[in-house]
Structure 1
Amino acid sequence: MKLYPIETGNFKLDGGAMFGVVPKTIWNKTNPADANNLIDLAARCLLIEDGNRLILIDTGMGNKQSDKFFGYYSLWGTHSMDKSLAKYGFHRDDITDVFMTHLHFDHCGGSVQWNKDRTGYEVAFKNAKYWTNENHWEWATKPNPREKASFLTENILPMQESGQLHFIKRSEGDMLQKSEMGFGIFFVDGHTEKMMIPHIQYQDKTICFMADLLPTVGHIPLPYVMGYDTRPLLTMPEKAKFLTSAAENNFYLFLEHDAHNEIITVENTEKGVRLKDIFISEEILK
C-alpha cells in the first residue's frame, strides 16, 4: 500500500463561522485572519494505492461552479486535482474508487464535472465506483434549510444517474467499523448525518482522514466547534471519544482543511488532549 496527499486547491472562510462561539482573540492565535476576517483553508484529499485499487478520499470543490460562487470562497494558490495526481504518475481515469466522507460541496464538488459541450454534468472519474452511505445520501438529497447551500444538486445526483453510486454497508453498534474499502470507518453525526472518518492501517501506523471532525490544528480543544455543525453538542462527545483514542493509540491525523499543517499527533495533558507533533506528508506517507 502507498498513500499520496492530493492537494486540490485552497480557499478562505470566515474565522468566526469556523470556530463558532470561540472568541476571535483566541482562535486568531492559531488561525490568523486577514482584513476580511477570513482564514486560510485547504482542500487536501488522500489517494490510496492498494493492489489493483486506487482509492481517492474526497475530491475538493471542483471547478464547475460560477465565478460568483467561487468569489465567496476567495480561492488562492495553484493546486489542482489533475496536477496533484500527475505528480505521482496518475490520471483521474486511473481512479477505481471515490470515497466521500460527506457530500458538502467542498468535499465532493470535484466528483462531478461539466460534459464536453457544457450542456449537462458527468462524473469526473469515469472508471470509478462512488461511495457514500445510505443515511447520508438520504440526508443530502433531502436537505434541511441549514445545509441546503452546502448540498448542491449538481454535485450529487449525477453520481446516481451514472449508475456508479454505491453505499457503504453500516451496522448498528460500534462507531468504528470495517468496510468494503479495506479500512475502518468512524461514523459521526455532529457535523452532518453519518459523516465517515477513515482509519487506514499503513505500515505500522494508523492514518485517520479527519474531514470536518477536526478541520485544523486550532480545533483540537473540545468546545472549538464550527458554526457549520448541525449538532454541535454532539460534535463535542464524538470529538472527545476520537481524540482520546487518538492520543492513547498515537494515531496520525491527516488534516483535510488545515492549509499549513498536514499531519499531526495528539497527547493527553492536564488540560485535556492537545497537539503533540506536526509532520509534513513526506515524513509519514513515505
Structure 2
Amino acid sequence: MTLYPIETGNFKLDGGAMFGVVPRTLWQRTNPADANNMIDMAARCLLIEDHERLILIDNGLGNKQSEKFFSYYYQWGDHTLDKSLAKNGFHRDDITDVFMTHLHFDHCGGSIVWNKNRTGYQPAFKNATFWTNENHWKWATEPNVREKASFLKENLLPMQESGQLKFVSRDQGPFLKNSELGFDILFVDGHTEKMMLPHISYKGKTLVFAADLIPTAGHIPIPYVMGYDTRPLLTMDEKAKFLETAVSKEYLLFFEHDAFNEICTLQTTEKGVRLNEVYNFNEVFS
C-alpha cells in the first residue's frame, strides 16, 4: 500500500462559521483571519494505492459550479485535483473507487463534471465506484433546511444515475472494521448524519482522515465546533471520545481543511487533549 496526499484547491470561509460560539480572539491564534473575517482552508484529499485498487478519499469542490458560486469561497493558489494526481503519476481515469466521507459540496463536488456539450452532468471518474452509506445518502438527497445549501443535487444524483454508486456495509456500532475498501471506518453524527472517518493502517501507524470532525489543527479543543454542525453537542461528545482513543492508540490525524498543517500527533495536557507535533506527509512516511 502507498498513500498520497492530493491537494484539490484552497479556498476561504468565514472564521466565525468555522468556530461557532468560540470568540475570534481565541480561534485567530491558530487560524488567523483577514480583514473580512475569512480564514484559509484546504481541500486536501487522500489517495490509496493498494494492489489493483486506487481509492480516492473525498475530491474537493470541483469546478462545474457558477462563477457566482465560487465568488463566495475566494479560491486561492494553483492546486487542482488533476495536477495533484499527475504529480503522483496518475490520471482520474485510473481511480477505481471514490470514497466520500460525506456529501457536502466541498467534499464531493469533484465527483461530477459537465458532459462534453455542457448539456448535463457525468461522473468525473468514469471507471470508479462511488462509496457513501445508505443513511447519509437519504439524509443528503432529502435534505433538512439547515444543510440544503450544502447538498447539491448536481453533485449527487448523477452518481446514482450512472449506476456507479454503492453503499458501505455497516455493523450496529459506530466502528466498522475492515470495510470493503480495506480500512476501518468510524461513523459520527454531530456534523452531519453518518459522516465516515477512515482509519488506515500504514507503515506501522494508524492514520485517521479527520474530515469535518476535526477540520484543522485549531479545532482540536473540544468546544471548538463548527457553526455548520447539525448537532454540536453530539460533535463535542464524539470528539472527546475520539481524542481519548487517538491519544491512547497514538493515531496520526490527517487534516482535510488545514491549509498549513497536513498531519499531527496529540498529547494529553492539563487542559485536555491538545496538539503535540505537526508534520508534512513526507516527514512521517518518507
1:164-197 CA-to-partner distances (Å, cap 9, x unmatched) read 0000001112434331000000000000000000
Matches within 5 A, 1:90-169: 90-169=90-169
TM-superposed deviation, 1:281:
1.0
CA distance in 1, matches of 2:243, 2:78: 32
Name the residue aligned to 1:228: 228
CA distance in 1, matches of 2:173, 2:5: 31
CA distance in 1, matches of 2:176, 2:265: 19
Name the residue aligned to 2:83: 83
SS in 1 for 2:146: coil
Q: Which runs of 5+ in 1 are unaligned?
A: none
TM-superposed deviation, 1:60:
0.2
Change (3 A) 1:176 1:269: farther
Q: Spell out structure 1 runs of 4+ moving beyond 3 A.
A: none
CA contact (8 A) 2:175 2:184 kept: no
Name the residue aligned to 1:277: 277
1:80-104 CA-to-partner distances (Å, cap 9, x unmatched) read 0000000010000000000000000
1:13-53 CA-to-partner distances (Å, cap 9, x unmatched) read 00000000000000011000000000000000000000000
CA contact (8 A) 1:105 1:150 kept: yes
1:148 alignment partner AA: K
CA contact (8 A) 1:248 1:267 kept: no
1:204-232 CA-to-partner distances (Å, cap 9, x unmatched) read 00000011000111101100000000000
Name the residue aligned to 1:45: 45
Name the residue aligned to 1:207: 207
CA distance in 1, matches of 2:108, 2:4: 18
TM-score scaled by length of structure 1: 0.99
CA distance in 1, matches of 2:27, 2:88: 35
Name the residue aligned to 2:5: 5
CA contact (8 A) 1:175 1:188 kept: no
CA contact (8 A) 2:191 2:230 kept: yes
CA contact (8 A) 1:43 1:257 kept: yes
TM-score scaled by length of structure 2: 0.99
Name the residue aligned to 1:251: 251
CA distance in 2, matches of 1:85, 1:136: 28
SS in 2 for 1:237: helix
2:242 alignment partner AA: F
CA contact (8 A) 2:97 2:129 kept: yes
Q: Which runs of 5+ in 2 are unaligned?
A: none
CA distance in 2, matches of 1:241, 1:177: 18
1:246 alignment partner AA: A
Name the residue aligned to 1:173: 173
CA contact (8 A) 2:98 2:129 kept: yes
TM-superposed deviation, 1:249:
1.1
CA distance in 2, matches of 1:178, 1:169: 10
Between Structure 1 and Structure 2, how many residues are aligned? 286
TM-superposed deviation, 1:284:
2.1
CA distance in 1, matches of 2:66, 2:187: 33
TM-superposed deviation, 1:283:
1.3
CA distance in 2, matches of 1:130, 1:174: 21
CA contact (8 A) 1:2 1:285 kept: no
Identity %: 73
* Matching of residue 62 in structure 1 with residue 70 in structure 2: no
CA contact (8 A) 1:4 1:285 kept: no
What is the root-mean-square deviation of aligned Cα atoms in Å?
Answer: 0.7
CA distance in 2, matches of 1:36, 1:269: 34
